[in-house]
Structure 1
Amino acid sequence: MTAATETRVDVLGIRHHGPGSARSVARALEALRPDVVLIEGPPEADDVAALAGNPGLVPPVALLAYAEPPKRSASRTAEAGSGDPPASETADEADVMTRDAGRPRSAFWPFAVFSPEWQALTWAAAHDVPVRFIDLPAAAHLALDDIIEAGDENAGAGNGEDETPDDENPDDATVVRAEPEAEIPVHQDPLGRLAAAAGYGDAERWWEDLVEHRTGDLAVFEAVAEAMAALREDEPILRRDALREAHMRTRLRAAIKDGARRITVVCGAWHVPALTGDLPPAAQDTAALRPFLKELKDSGRSKATVTWVPWSHGRLAVRTGYGAGVTSPGWYHHMFTATDRPVERWLTHAAGLLREEGLPVSSAHLIEGVRLADTLAALRGRPATGLDEATEAIRSVLCDGDDVRLSLVRHRLEVGELLGEVPPEAPAGPLERDLAARTKALRLPRQALEKKVELDLRKPTDLGRSRLLHQLGLLGVGWGTLAATSGKGTFKEAWHLRWDPALAVDLVAAGVHGTTVAEAASGKLLHDAAGADLPGIALLVEGALLADLSGALPSLLDTLRDQAALGHDTDALLDAIPALARTLRYGDVRGTSPGALGIVLTGLVTRARTALPGAVVALDDDAAARLVTRLRDVSAAVSLLGREPAAAGLREDWLATLSRLADRPDLHGLVAGWMARILRDERAASSDETQTRLSRFLSPGTPATTGAAFVEGFVGSSGLILVHDAELLALVDHWLSTLHADAFEQVLPLLRRSFARFDAPERRAVGERVAGRDDGAPGESLTFDPARVARVLRVLATILEKR
């Protein structure tokens, strides 16, 4: 189209990350030879666009836009996350985190080699043609939702329905939001309407058949423009789209005013009608933008920095971080880079992958697979064989119908594991800068080889290292994994460290929650807490303490308190207590104070004690085993607190509750046995009380299965109690000796399961005690019937002779 008599403007409507669109854009640019290329994206990226011609910038990569973090005090920065901040600073930090929870901190514009925008960037760099990005500023995208929600989303935007989803209203300037995206009603899918009119049930397949599988020239963009114009005649234009398109037209007019005579615009297909034909007056667009930009400036978020960061095919996959994704980036990459016979080459790659896993795939499999894929495409009337047909051929022929094998192909090939690279000339992202500064200050280099380090948390440097590794773990950046230490001291911590290049992408993606590692970890905690259950929030509180995220603790504790007050699930209450007890116990060890955590923990234990009588009855074997596991963890956690002032009396109250429940006749044997044992070990029951409970459950009037479950719960996984307690061993032996044959056969599997958990030396010691050979043990040696022993000896002699 022509916007002025002496200026030609061509608008190329594309689908982001479409290989067919990318190929068509490359050919169109060769034919048009523009003076300037305008691309849908943040104008702040103009300064780094030239790096697309740097051989060190290897896609997949992304433009990262972020707001600079607020200035911190020099002393706080130097500490690099170690020690407690001043009380006033912690309060301010917590207030900021609470206020900004859920707000996007960063925005990403990802590009793959098959992205049309990337092809436009590299063409411009190769031909020394200037590039300008024409979308709203990056800072506007970071604040767009907040500002629009505060106003009227539908102002000048039609009927006020929700925004068209990214797959239908392509939008590579995608803000990563904290909340998951809602499902989009079918009637809001404009491409779906076109697909239905063409007889397709799937808009994605329709677009692929119409555009991606064709190698058209400018005519394909003319057809796309006509289709979008028809769609927009009766579709509402939302305020965010109206603002973005007004800004695009403003940048287009600026390019014309600067003297460009041949302009090519590369933008999402949905926006093409807004940039073609007779443009509205410039004053109209200025008037529409002025209030929004003023509100943005008044909010204090009018500036953002943009740089290149590495990305991956895994993060390009749909719903893994941004909306304008593709489900099969590996397939799209193959379709763009394969010069001929793409289906044959695709199946060959799949065969090679299966062979690497030791699965047999022959040349005959490949021939039949290609034939099947082509036949399916022909039967379905498709212009070319697509991914669906290729996948069905791989499943049926190469994988013999096995979906497990197919899942391997889909993960490794269809999605792919390709990582991008960024040259040193590109400015580092905020998280990378912060991590580099902290690792340098803590003398903790990133190395590819695995290394085990032991930290002494009493030393400031080691404590800072621990906090950094815990913060990265909360962000999903698995540089280090905790390992067992050589000692039992609470001041020791061991880590296995290994830096994988893929972690750079995880670090970049974590930037949505903040611009420093500590800030991002706090934001991630608050984001996760919004959708977590009671045990999950307790683990997050523990993580906040280990990572020294004092600013996030007040909000987490408020959320925890609310969940505990509203929750009625006994299992959830029991699951939440151990993490909170560890947090309270080790707070002083790490030099942090959990504050109100003791009050919350006391309330949880009280609620658990109140709910426990109703939770221990009417249990089957599986439910009883799960309950015992939970009770064991809670008891260990409460005992761990000892005489902590913040948890005074918790241990005594908990044991008193167990003591009241231990003698109930309706208890499952496993639960009763465990309660008797824990009360004995914690000295909350005397030897006589314990013997009385054992005698009652191992009496002839108690069902044999209940007695066996009691023994299993009482003994647990260690046989030492039977080795050192002669009276207990005699009681169990007498119970077994008096069982009838049918009852013995019934309980034998349960007893074998219990005794199989003992270590071999423990089983041997128990046998020797029963045989009476341990002369140094207290109590009388057990006696046996000589006649019965003689019969056993004859059988053993026969077995040994045969050997």
Structure 2
Amino acid sequence: MAPADRLHLFGIRHHGPGSARNLVTALDALDPTLVLIEGPADVSDLIVHAGSPGMVPPLAILVHAGDDPANASFYPFAVYSPEWQAMRWAAARGRAARFIDLPAEIRLAKTPDPDPAEPDGGEPAEEAVPAPADVEALAIRRDPLAYLAGIAGYRDSEAWWNALIEQGAGGPAVFAAIEAAMTELRRHADASAAEPDEDRVLEQRREAHMRLAVAAALRETEGPVAVVCGAWHLPALRLRRPQAEDRALLKGLPKVKVSATWVPWTETRLASASGYAAGVASPGWYAHLWNEVERGRDAPALPVRDATARWQVRVAALLRRHGRPASTASVIEAARLAQALAGLRDLAVPGLEEMREASLATLCLGEPAPMALIETELVVGRAVGAIDESVPQMPLAADLARWQKRLKLKPEALDEDVSLDLRTEAGLAKSLLLHRLALIRVPWGRLQGAGSSRGTFRENWRLRWEPEFSVRLAEALVHGTTVEQAAGNAAVAAARDAPALAGVSDIVRSCLLAGLDAAARTTIALLQARAAGSSDVATLAGAVPPLAAVLRYGTARAIPAAELQLLVVSLAEAVCAGLVHACRRLQPAEAEALRRTLAALDEALALLDRAATSEAWLGALHALADDGEGDELLRGFAVRALYDRGAMPAEAAAACFSRALSPSVPPLEAGRWLEGFLAHAGQVLLHDAALRAMIDRWLVALDEEPFVAVLPMLRRAFGAIDRGERRRMLDLARRPADDGPAAARPPTSAAAEAPGFAAALPLLLTILGLDAETGS
């Protein structure tokens, strides 16, 4: 038999249950001795694992450069991907199978750009305006299925493909029709296209490699050879071209050493909405169709009634899990309505649109909210694949898989909230794993706080697995082969490279939370050494709060408490020694940033409750409050901090207030002092009538021009106060000076209670940032 007669090309869509079903039927009829599949030729050794029982799609082949794991590519497969079914078919029947596309070692290599050609005379060429034929050729190349769908009168390629393949009954004979259509499209596109661009050159190299691989396979075997590839490539593989020309096209291309393995993928990343160019709109729906194909393997067509009913049953079950009623009668009506709509639209089986409309009308009662849930959970899907234990994996990925299995933490593609009790062995182990993964840039879990618990023994996490984490695991291999080892080494490396002390402090805290004792001691020593050589008070102050929180509240993990306490005390003492000079001659933005840092430090030291450190801090605040050269904003903060701690009596605070807001002080300086004092001071003003009175007297004494100048700062100061507290301040301002019980006063208007208040009310509302009509 001639080689051309033994070659059988099957043009497929990369993810489609109908296409996969037709392919399996065609392979059963042909029974090829060799199956060639579009995919990087240098990872063909991974195909054998497709037949392992523990391989559960969606999956992907991860290929990355050996010396640069970030330089990586994924090749995803769903259970209904024709390529996946071709691999499974070959494995089940003991047939040889291999990939034939351009090797990944070439795809991942950095190809230098050729020098741009210049026209005669060296003048830059004018930008060419594409001719209508070129525009049409570009549209064909960009999405040939969408072009065919437009000709057929469909709104998009997904709808056309569903009608032709997924909901039709073409069978294996449809491959000939697809090849004929693609041949005509390629002929038209190639005849109209301009000079090859980068994408066209890559396409030509890919197809040259596939032609050479097909020719080698035909020489290798006497039996039939099946080629499974994207339908667009069919005409190029039929093309008879001298092999010397194909080899010349591939000669001298740069290469890079690569590593490859199977990794779990997710249905959300198979969706076109994720940005995946070859994705489909509804991966979950396609998975349902494939399951129905598997159920009716021996039937000539899909069992329409059963397939429709089972989908609506899944919709009803989902709604019930989320507390919505979904009766059996509604399920029956939904299935009947979907079939009726398909009949009216001359469809062989109900498609996704018919299912959506039936579910919306009967099970969702026309409400869009439950339909959004159905779209997310069922139409797109949230399934995550699984890898068989026999598949060689990267050491870090294998260690993580062991921990996931041991701790019963299953990766999911959507958000999942998990509450951990750190007093239990399992809860603590899960927490340690999630904290360690965060240190190697694999944020599978994001800490949400302790919820309603007042103790430090509970953590609430939100888990969401992303396929890109597999690349992060590959990148982290430079730090170690287990999660614990890699996390510790990565933390130490990050601490050495951190540009600021606050960053090193955060890393120390992360090491403590991750239970990495050796890394914690190393990073503590690094922080101590860097702090000793630093005179930046803001940086030193920013490093204290995360460490003080660990000391104050403790953790369920063992921590080097002595080293940590010595570090916190030394940092706090350095801040106290340099505080006054650090608060002089600052720009407004610098002063505000330092105020926030010092406020966090003040709170941390108050919680730490160490007498000697607190005494030194309060002394530094007194010195700052009395420093005539200090920034007004920070001096106001210092008085407020002392007042809140009870370290400054009300009389002394009032005296500071009077001096800072006296008529001799320029209004801008007074406003900044007040802004520093009032930051988040809603409760103080609500319960301290003396301070309210002083602010009122100062405001009343201002002339119009100084008041306009200081108004923005007043708005900022009051804007930081909770809206409800501002509303209560307005209520207090409406009351007369002798504020007695409300029940003992006759019902009078606010204007009657306080003469002139009505005239001043708009201005007061402006300062408080409240609505002039509602007062809220």
Indicate the TM-score class for this superposition, using the shorter chain for normalisation: 0.5 to 0.7
Q: Flag the 1:547–1:753 CA change in 2: closer, same or farther, 3 A.
A: closer
How big is the shift at 1:429?
Answer: 2.9
How big is the shift at 1:106?
Answer: 2.9
Counterpart pick for 2:165 among 211, 234, 240 = 211
| Amino acid paired to 1:127 | R
Q: Flag the 1:751–1:212 CA change in 2: closer, same or farther, 3 A.
A: closer
Structure 1 contact 35–130 (Cα < 8 Å) conserved = yes
For 2:252 and 2:696, the matched residues in 1 are separated by 86
Structure 2 contact 144–232 (Cα < 8 Å) conserved = no
Structure 2, unaligned stretches of length 5 or more?
A: 118-126, 131-135, 293-301, 410-417, 488-499, 512-518, 524-537, 551-562, 568-573, 606-612, 614-619, 698-717, 730-736, 746-776
Pairing 1:713-732 to 2, within 5 Å after superposition = 713=678, 716=681, 730=690, 732=692
1:468 aligned partner: 436
Q: Flag the 1:148–1:3 CA change in 2: closer, same or farther, 3 A.
A: farther
For 1:585 and 1:656, the matched residues in 2 are separated by 28
2:15 aligned partner: 17
For 1:405 and 1:577, the matched residues in 2 are separated by 51
For 2:539 and 2:275, the matched residues in 1 are separated by 29
SS in structure 2 opposite 1:417? coil
The number of aligned residues is 593
Counterpart pick for 1:288 among 230, 249, 255 = 249
Pairing 1:536-555 to 2, within 5 Å after superposition = none
Counterpart pick for 1:253 among 203, 215, 238 = 215
Structure 1 contact 314–415 (Cα < 8 Å) conserved = yes
Q: Flag the 1:681–1:420 CA change in 2: closer, same or farther, 3 A.
A: same
How does the TM-score come out when normalised to structure 1?
0.59
For 2:239 and 2:14, the matched residues in 1 are separated by 23
How big is the shift at 1:61?
Answer: 2.1
How big is the shift at 1:464?
Answer: 10
Structure 1 contact 24–215 (Cα < 8 Å) conserved = no
Q: Flag the 1:340–1:790 CA change in 2: closer, same or farther, 3 A.
A: closer
Q: Flag the 1:411–1:487 CA change in 2: closer, same or farther, 3 A.
A: closer
How big is the shift at 1:25?
Answer: 0.5
Pairing 1:295-444 to 2, within 5 Å after superposition = 295-296=254-255, 301-304=256-259, 306-318=260-272, 320=274, 322-338=276-292, 339-341=302-304, 342-374=307-339, 376-377=341-342, 382=347, 384-433=349-398, 435=400
How big is the shift at 1:366?
Answer: 3.1
| Amino acid paired to 2:158 | E
Counterpart pick for 2:90 among 111, 117, 124 = 124
For 1:348 and 1:751, the matched residues in 2 are separated by 48
| Amino acid paired to 1:677 | R
1:774 aligned partner: none
| Amino acid paired to 2:156 | D
SS in structure 1 opposite 2:366? coil
Q: Flag the 1:429–1:161 CA change in 2: closer, same or farther, 3 A.
A: farther
Q: Does residue 61 of the first structure (1) align with residue 59 of the second (2)?
A: yes
How does the TM-score come out when normalised to structure 2?
0.60
For 1:345 and 1:211, the matched residues in 2 are separated by 21
How big is the shift at 1:334?
Answer: 0.7
| Amino acid paired to 1:358 | G
Q: Flag the 1:790–1:413 CA change in 2: closer, same or farther, 3 A.
A: closer
For 2:62 and 2:628, the matched residues in 1 are separated by 56
1:134 aligned partner: 100
How big is the shift at 1:9?
Answer: 0.7
1:26 aligned partner: 24
SS in structure 1 opposite 2:57? coil
Q: Flag the 1:14–1:133 CA change in 2: closer, same or farther, 3 A.
A: same
1:272 aligned partner: 234
How big is the shift at 1:322?
Answer: 4.3
Structure 2 contact 654–691 (Cα < 8 Å) conserved = no
How big is the shift at 1:607?
Answer: 14
1:477 aligned partner: 444
Q: Does residue 147 of the first structure (1) align with residue 101 of the second (2)?
A: no
Pairing 1:577-726 to 2, within 5 Å after superposition = 610-612=587-589, 633-637=596-600, 677-678=640-641, 690-691=654-655, 693=657, 713=678, 716=681
How big is the shift at 1:680?
Answer: 5.6
Q: Flag the 1:692–1:241 CA change in 2: closer, same or farther, 3 A.
A: same
Structure 2 contact 583–631 (Cα < 8 Å) conserved = no
How big is the shift at 1:18?
Answer: 0.6
Q: Flag the 1:480–1:752 CA change in 2: closer, same or farther, 3 A.
A: closer
How big is the shift at 1:446?
Answer: 4.5
SS in structure 2 opposite 1:215? coil
SS in structure 1 opposite 2:445? coil
Structure 1, unaligned stretches of length 5 or more?
A: 70-99, 154-158, 163-167, 170-183, 456-460, 525-536, 554-574, 593-597, 616-626, 644-648, 664-671, 738-746, 759-782, 794-803
For 1:651 and 1:322, the matched residues in 2 are separated by 60
For 2:160 and 2:446, the matched residues in 1 are separated by 43
For 1:384 and 1:160, the matched residues in 2 are separated by 48
For 1:407 and 1:217, the matched residues in 2 are separated by 34
For 2:622 and 2:175, the matched residues in 1 are separated by 74
1:345-389: CA deviation from partner (whole Å, max 9, x where unpaired): 212211121122221223443344345444554565555432123
Q: Flag the 1:8–1:789 CA change in 2: closer, same or farther, 3 A.
A: closer
| Amino acid paired to 1:4 | P
Q: Flag the 1:370–1:636 CA change in 2: closer, same or farther, 3 A.
A: same
Q: Which has the higher contact order (CA 8 A, sep 6+)?
A: 1
1:83-140: CA deviation from partner (whole Å, max 9, x where unpaired): xxxxxxxxxxxxxxxxx6xx84332222221111111111111111111111122323
| Amino acid paired to 2:281 | T
For 1:188 and 1:447, the matched residues in 2 are separated by 44
1:38-59: CA deviation from partner (whole Å, max 9, x where unpaired): 0111233332322222222222
How big is the shift at 1:212?
Answer: 2.4
1:452-492: CA deviation from partner (whole Å, max 9, x where unpaired): 5599xxxxx999989734325x32222877769x999xxxx
Q: Flag the 1:356–1:255 CA change in 2: closer, same or farther, 3 A.
A: same
1:664-717: CA deviation from partner (whole Å, max 9, x where unpaired): xxxxxxxx9979635866999996574464799999xx9xxx9xx999947736
Q: Flag the 1:540–1:226 CA change in 2: closer, same or farther, 3 A.
A: farther
Q: Does residue 112 of the first structure (1) align with residue 42 of the second (2)?
A: no
| Amino acid paired to 2:258 | K
For 1:266 and 1:503, the matched residues in 2 are separated by 31
SS in structure 2 opposite 1:121? helix
| Amino acid paired to 1:340 | P
1:4 aligned partner: 3
How big is the shift at 1:660?
Answer: 5.4
Structure 2 contact 79–85 (Cα < 8 Å) conserved = yes
1:168-191: CA deviation from partner (whole Å, max 9, x where unpaired): 99xxxxxxxxxxxxxx98983332
1:496-520: CA deviation from partner (whole Å, max 9, x where unpaired): 59998x8596643645756557899
SS in structure 2 opposite 1:40? strand
Structure 2 contact 283–380 (Cα < 8 Å) conserved = yes
How big is the shift at 1:11?
Answer: 0.8
Structure 1 contact 395–402 (Cα < 8 Å) conserved = yes
1:196 aligned partner: 150
SS in structure 1 opposite 2:396? helix
Identity of aligned residues (%): 32
SS in structure 1 opposite 2:258? coil
| Amino acid paired to 2:104 | A
1:628-648: CA deviation from partner (whole Å, max 9, x where unpaired): xx88634425769999xxxxx
| Amino acid paired to 2:352 | L
Structure 2 contact 284–378 (Cα < 8 Å) conserved = yes
